[in-house]
Amino acid sequence: MTDAKLLLTFNAGSSTLKIGLFQCDVNGARRIGKGLVDFSRRPLSLHLTEGPAVFDTFIHAEGGEDLRNVIAETFETLGRHFNMDAVRAVGHRVVHGGERFVGPIRLDETSIGDIDQLTALAPLHQPQALRLIRAVKHLRPTLAQTASFDTAFHATQSDLVRRFALPRALHDQGIKRYGFHGLSHAFIATELRARAPKVAAGKVIVAHLGSGASLCALDGGESRDCSMGFSTLDGIPMATRCGALDPGVLLHLLGPKGRTLRNLEEMLYHRSGLLGVSGISGDTRDLLKDERTEAREAIDLLALRIAGEIGRMAATLGGLDGIVFTAGIGEHQPEIRAAICGRLRWLGVALDDNANATSGPIISTSASPVATFVIATDEEQIIANEALSVLAAE
C-alpha cells in the first residue's frame, strides 16, 4: 500500500458504479486502480483491478434506496488493497447540473439539495448519484466530496442551439437543450488535442456510443451542439431508450391509447431503443450475432440515425474535419462503425477497412478529408482532474 494521497471517483450508472482510484501529487492524478460494482446481481459483485492484479468478490449489503451499508462494505474491501486513510476526497459524476452548475463544485448541504431538485430531469441517474453522495457523507462526514456535471461541458453552446421552438417563457424557465455525456466528450476533446492538434482545432463530431449514446459537435474543442437535449432520452436510439421521437406519438399514447405517465416513462427508458425495435436485446453484441431480420433492422436503424445526426451537426459546425468513435460500441464494434461511415461518404468520410477492423486508432484513409479516429474514453480521469482543481482552488 502507498501512503501518498489518494482520490476516489464514483461514476454512477443506472445499475452499475464505476470506481476510480487515483494517486495525487504535484503532477496531478494518476490512476492506480479501478472497480465496478454491479447492482443488477444478488449479492452485489465487485470487480477490482490493481495494476495487473484482478480481484472479484461480493458485497453482501443490500442495494436500494439507502446505500450506506454498501459503501461501508465497499470501503472495507478497498481497504484490503489500498490505504483508505489516505483518501483525500471523493469525486462524483452527476448527470444533470441544470443552469446553475456549469463547472465542478465542492459539495455541501446546499448544493446537494440543489442537485436533488434536478432529479426529475434525469430520473435514471440522478437519484443513484445522490444516494452515493449521502452514503459517503454518512460514512466519512469530514471527507471532501466534489461533483462533476455531464451537462457542464455543453454550457458553451449558443442560446440558439439550446432553444426549442416553444413559447419563450418555457425557455426562460429552463426548458431547453442541455446535452449530456459531457465528461466523456471533454476527455475526448483533450485527448484529441494531444494526438492530432490540427484536427482538434477544427470541426469534430464525437460519437459516444454505449448503452447510452450521444453525439457532440466540437469546434476548437468546445461543445457547439449535442444530440441529447433536455433529457437523456433524446437524440440517437440507445440500448433501451428511444432517442428522438415525434411528440405527437406521446400525445397519442397518453390520449387515445390511455397510457399512464408512469407506463410511458418506463417504456421510453427501458423497453425502447434497440431492445424495442428488435424484440431480442438492447446489446449490439447480441444483435450482431443474431441472424433474424429484427436484429439486423435494429442495427441498420442505429447506423441510419447516427449518420443522419452527424449530417445535422455538420450543418451546425459549418463543416467537418474529424469524427471520433468512443465508448463501448464506438471503441469495440467495427461493423457498426463501418455501417455508419458507409452512410457518410457524401461528407468525405473514407474508411480504411483494415484499420477499422483492428480499431485504429486512425481508421480513415490517408486521403480522407475527414479524419476518423477510435479513442477510448475515460470519464473517471476527468472527474479526478476536476476534483483536484476544486480542492486546489480552496
Indicate which residues carry an active-site annotation: 150
The response to whether 11 counts as a known ligand-binding position is yes
The response to whether 332 counts as a known ligand-binding position is yes
The response to whether 284 counts as a known ligand-binding position is yes
The response to whether 110 counts as a known ligand-binding position is no
The response to whether 243 counts as a known ligand-binding position is no
What CA–CA distance (Å, rounded) separates 347 from 311?
A: 8
What CA–CA distance (Å, rounded) separates 189 from 180?
A: 15
The response to whether 73 counts as a known ligand-binding position is no
Beta bridge partners of 326: 208
- Grid coordinates standing for 33? 486502480
Bond prior to 334 in cis (omega within 30° of 0): no
The response to whether 212 counts as a known ligand-binding position is yes
The response to whether 255 counts as a known ligand-binding position is no
Bond prior to 237 in cis (omega within 30° of 0): no
What CA–CA distance (Å, rounded) separates 125 from 95?
A: 7
The response to whether 379 counts as a known ligand-binding position is yes
The response to whether 154 counts as a known ligand-binding position is no
What CA–CA distance (Å, rounded) separates 177 from 170?
A: 12
- Grid coordinates standing for 132? 452515493
User: In angstroms, how far apart are the furthest CA atoms of the chain?
Assistant: 64
Q: In the 8-state DSSP scheme, what is residue 92? A: E
* Cβ pair 90, 145 in contact under 8 A: yes
Give the residue ranges of DSSP H helices in 145-214: 159-162, 168-172, 182-195, 197-200
The response to whether 27 counts as a known ligand-binding position is no
CA dist 207 to 185, 190, 227, Å?
Answer: 9, 15, 10
The response to whether 342 counts as a known ligand-binding position is no
- Grid coordinates standing for 288? 450482431
* Continuous segment of H or E residues that includes residue 127: helix 126-139
What CA–CA distance (Å, rounded) separates 151 from 229?
A: 10
Three-class SS of 268-309: HHHCCHHHHHHCCCCCHHHHHHCCCHHHHHHHHHHHHHHHHH
- Grid coordinates standing for 322? 474529424
- Grid coordinates standing for 43? 449479492
Nearest to 199 by CA among 222, 220, 181, 224: 220
What CA–CA distance (Å, rounded) separates 188 from 375?
A: 7
The response to whether 331 counts as a known ligand-binding position is yes
Binding-site members for ATP are: 18, 208-212, 283-285, 328-332
Binding-site members are: 11, 18, 93, 208-212, 283-285, 328-332, 379
Binding-site members for Mg(2+) are: 11, 379
Binding-site members for substrate are: 93
